Structure 1
């Protein structure tokens, strides 16, 4: 994150941080660069606002305006939940449906 900020353009560079830094270490920023016009901002989940955006996305999915089914790579039963975690850790699964039957 520090390298991204330091490589942004003087006077109008903008660094966008997505998600959470794994080790929760502070981001060291020279305030001089902020005063010279560089900016840093961040967001969780791409800036999605759950209370207002999820109902809209659900409606779009139900009306076939967006296709989410193509992102499902595996389906497992609840008793095989450990297989879902294994697939995730191995990098073999993008999205896994866990059936609770």
Structure 2
């Protein structure tokens, strides 16, 4: 039974295949974080479509003349579960 994924995780993450960048982003936003870079923002949007993260308002509000975050992001329970499964799969490989 070790190779079987919960149905919700298997649907959102086919074969639990997450790239290194996706795993790193899930790890970084596990407890919530602001997204400052465009590549990370695009990746967050892709993971949001899969139900692995939730996009929220930015947590930090720097003064208007300073660089602004794109948005805040936090991993959903499904995302945290996929992160655990992805880590185990990478550790076994």
TM-score computed with the length of structure 2 as normaliser: 0.21
Structure with greater proportional helix content: 2
Q: Which fold has the larger relative contact order, with Cα–Cα distance below 8 Å and residues 6 or more apart in sequence?
A: 2
From the two aligned structures, give the one with the greater strand fraction.
1
